[in-house]
Amino acid sequence: MNDTLDMHAIAAALEAGELKLRELTKFERRDPLIRQTYVRFYPGNPKGFADSLNRYHRVAWLRERSLEACPQHRIGKPEEMFWRILKVVPTELSAYRIKKIIEHF
C-alpha cells in the first residue's frame, strides 16, 4: 500500500470512529506550562522555580487542588502557573528536572 492509500485509510478510520488520535500525555501537557513559567517568572533560575513550586505544592496546593478553576487572587502570578502545572501532574520537581525540561524545548 502506498502512502496516499495509507492516509486515506487512516482518514476513513478516523471518520468512522474506528481510530482515535492519541491524546497528549500528561507530561506533554505539563512541560510547556513549565517552560512558560520559567521564561516568564524565573529566567535563569531553575532552583528558585523549584523552591517556589514545591513550597506551593506543600502549602496552598493542599487547599486548592480540588478547585475547578485557579483562584482569582492567583491569576497573573507564578502561583497560577503552579496551580495549572500541578493540576496536570501533582508532584514536586527538582531544579535538575526543571532544567532538563527547559533544555528539551
What pLDDT sits at residue 23? Answer: 67
Indicate whether 73 belongs to any domain.
yes
Residues in Cβ contact with 60 at an 8 Å cutoff, skipping those fewer than 6 apart: 79
User: In terms of Cα–Cα distance, which of 74, 78, 68, 76 is closest to 98?
Assistant: 78
61 in a domain, yes or no? yes
Of 88 and 19, the structure prediction assigns the larger pLDDT to 88
12 located within any domain: no
pTM value?
Answer: 0.78
pLDDT of 5 > 90? The answer is no
Based on the number of CB atoms within 10 Å of its own CB, is 102 exposed (0-12), middle (13-18) or buried (19 or more)?
A: middle
Residue 80 lies in a domain: yes
Digit-coded pLDDT (tens) for 26-43: 999 999 999 999 999 999
Domain assignment present for residue 72? The answer is yes
Domain assignment present for 78 = yes
Task: Domain count for the chain, please give it.
Answer: 1
Q: What is the chain's mean pLDDT, rounded?
A: 90
- 16 domain residue, yes or no: no
Cell triple for 98:
526543571
Q: 67: which 3 cell numbers? A: 478547585
Residue 94 maps to a domain: yes
Q: How far apart are CA 87 and CA 26, in angstroms?
A: 10
CB-based burial label for 93 (10 Å; 0-12, 13-18, 19+): buried
Domain hosting 75: range is: 24-104
- Among 19-23, 38-42, 43-47, which stretch is predicted with the lowest mean pLDDT? 19-23
pLDDT at 2 over 60: no
